[in-house]
């Protein structure tokens, strides 16, 4: 599959079905929810990987009975689900303003998502409805906990992080079912995706923790508070970033979170290999190697991952 061609064509085709007054809203959606700095960047260039928006297509090479039409329906449903989920998450986090036009657009996104899914499954209802509800509940729970700086465990972290990603699974699993895969292989698809989405989430939570904390709460801070660090006493100026940075670095949670990402990528890589999803296995292996290197550097030099990410972002902005 030509990733850029198909993903951008899916969104373009969806946009043409919208009422005229929503078509501009759709074209600038990625910018409106803060995923890109300027408008008119195609969705194929919004994320750094193909998995986020086109996961079903990346499994399809291993499914001999998956027809092009089935793959397109699954990829369309998945892409619209992910875009809608990102927009909703940004709005719930108040990183984007959801006015009436945005709400109308997201209603159309959901409707098109569910039509594509029902066409694939032949069922009258879409599994995205329950998945989206569970994800929104998890997002709201996470926000309340992090905003209040509640001390949390790594088990809490893994559980809520997975619940937030509910819409990442239905399209690929339903494609596997439609292509005649057994329940065991369908569960393998789900496990691959679980490894990928958690790996990406954990890694993002490491490199973005300072921005997240400024915007209302970060997992690194709550995990730090949940981990006893007797050699570092609470500081009066803990509300200031430098003081919080010292506590987070001393706790070692960033290295632990990055290693969690490594382990999730490793799971995805191994299972993808077993089911024959070669491109996914290769991508997950590459991410595992990068996460392993970042983990080692983070252990030796706390805060390395954040600094490396900030330098990379600066270089991209300056040198394009």
pLDDT in tens, 102-147: 999 999 999 999 999 999 999 999 999 999 999 999 999 999 999 9
- Tell me the average pLDDT of the chain: 91
- For 53-80, how does the pLDDT look when each residue is reduced to its tens digit (9 = 90+)? 999 999 999 999 999 999 999 999 999 9
Is the per-residue pLDDT at 229 higher than 60? Answer: no
Reported as a single tens digit per residue, the pLDDT across 241-264 is: 899 999 999 999 999 999 999 999
pLDDT in tens, 136-164: 999 999 999 999 999 999 999 999 999 99
Backbone angles phi, psi at 251, to 5 degrees: -75, -25
* pLDDT of res. 54: 95
Q: Are 117 and 174 in contact (CB under 8 A)?
A: yes
From 199, 241, 236, select the one nearest 218 (Cα to Cα): 241
Residue written as token pair 């399809």: 60
Across residues 279-287, what is the average pLDDT?
96
310/72: higher pLDDT: 72
pLDDT band at 232 (very low <50, low <70, confident <90, very high): very low
Q: Cα Rg for the chain, rounded, in angstroms?
A: 20
């Amino acid at each position: 599959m030509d990733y850029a061609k198909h993903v951008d064509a899916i969104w373009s085709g969806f946009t043409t079905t919208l009422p005229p007054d929503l078509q501009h809203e759709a074209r600038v959606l990625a910018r409106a929810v803060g995923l890109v700095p300027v408008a008119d960047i195609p969705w194929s260039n919004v994320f750094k990987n193909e998995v986020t928006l086109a996961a079903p297509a990346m499994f399809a090479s291993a499914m001999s009975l998956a027809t092009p039409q089935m793959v397109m329906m699954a990829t369309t449903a998945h892409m619209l689900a992910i875009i809608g989920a990102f927009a909703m998450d940004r709005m719930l986090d108040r990183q984007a303003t959801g006015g009436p036009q945005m709400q109308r657009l997201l209603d159309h996104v959901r409707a098109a998502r569910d039509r594509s899914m029902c066409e694939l499954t032949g069922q009258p209802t879409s599994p995205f409805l329950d998945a989206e509800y569970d994800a929104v509940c998890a997002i709201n729970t996470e926000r309340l906990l992090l905003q209040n700086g509640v001390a949390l465990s790594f088990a809490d972290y893994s559980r809520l992080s997975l619940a937030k990603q509910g819409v990442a699974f239905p399209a690929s699993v339903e494609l596997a079912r439609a292509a005649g895969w057994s329940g065991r292989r369908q569960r393998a698809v789900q496990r691959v995706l679980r490894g990928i989405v958690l790996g990406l989430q954990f890694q993002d939570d490491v490199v973005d923790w300072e921005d997240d904390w400024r915007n209302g709460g970060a997992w690194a801070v709550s995990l730090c508070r949940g981990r006893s660090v007797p050699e570092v006493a609470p500081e009066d100026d803990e509300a200031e970033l430098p003081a919080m940075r010292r506590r987070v670095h001393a706790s070692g949670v960033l290295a632990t979170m990055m290693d969690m990402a490594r382990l999730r990528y490793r799971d995805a890589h191994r299972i993808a290999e077993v089911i024959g999803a070669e491109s996914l296995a290769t991508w997950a292996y590459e991410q595992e190697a990068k996460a392993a290197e970042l983990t080692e550097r983070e252990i030796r030099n706390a805060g390395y991952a954040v600094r490396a990410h900030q330098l990379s972002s600066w270089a991209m902005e300056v040198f394009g």
